[in-house]
């Protein structure tokens, strides 16, 4: 079955420290993966997508097919990065997304 696993429900790091939010997937074929973010009192929104290979707000994510992972990384965390992060995988001809359980990231001052 196609699924996404985020093993950490909570992650807390200090400002300026590196951040890595883990995402593992189960998928046959070449997946297109996404990271979505929900800041406090804001709607869930796209942060970045694998196919774009871009850095958004200092975050990057690399697809590792060998480890079936798509971890989200940022070298120096900022307080405004505190949010809920979801990894997501498209299904059914890419018209639906299946989401992981989410990781709540807290950046301590």
Partner 1 sequence: DVKVTQSSRYLVKRTGEKVFLECVQDMDHENMFWYRQDPGLGLRLIYFSYDVKMKEKGDIPEGYSVSREKKERFSLILESASTNQTSMYLCASSSTQGFGNTIYFGEGSWLTVV
Mapped onto helix, strand or coil, the DSSP state of residue 79 is helix
Taking CB under 8 A as the criterion, the residue among 11, 13, 56, 97 binding partner 1 is 97
- Token pair, residue 40, equals 């406090």
Residue 14, judged by CB atoms within 10 A of its CB (0-12, 13-18, 19+), counts as exposed
Cβ closest to partner 1, residue 14 vs residue 42: 42
Taking CB under 8 A as the criterion, the residue among 11, 44, 56, 68 binding partner 1 is 44
State in angstroms the smallest separation of the CB of 17 from partner 1.
25
Q: 50 vs 18, 80, 92, 106, CA distance in Å?
A: 20, 23, 18, 24
Per DSSP, helices labelled H in 1-109 are none
Contact track, partner 1, 50-79, x by CB under 8 A:
-x----------------------------
Residues of this chain that interact with partner 1 (CB under 8 A) are 6, 9, 32, 34, 43-46, 49, 51, 86, 90, 94-102
């Amino acid at each position: 079955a196609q699924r996404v696993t985020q093993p950490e429900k909570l992650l807390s790091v200090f400002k300026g420290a590196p951040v890595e939010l883990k995402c593992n997937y189960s998928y046959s074929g070449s997946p297109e993966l996404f990271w979505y973010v929900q800041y406090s009192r804001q709607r869930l929104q796209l942060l970045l997508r694998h196919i774009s290979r871009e850095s958004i707000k200092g975050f990057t994510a690399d697809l590792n097919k060998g480890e079936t992972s798509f971890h989200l990384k940022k070298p120096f965390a900022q307080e405004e990065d505190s949010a809920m992060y979801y990894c997501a995988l498209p299904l059914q001809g890419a018209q639906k997304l299946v989401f992981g359980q989410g990781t709540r990231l807290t950046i301590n001052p």
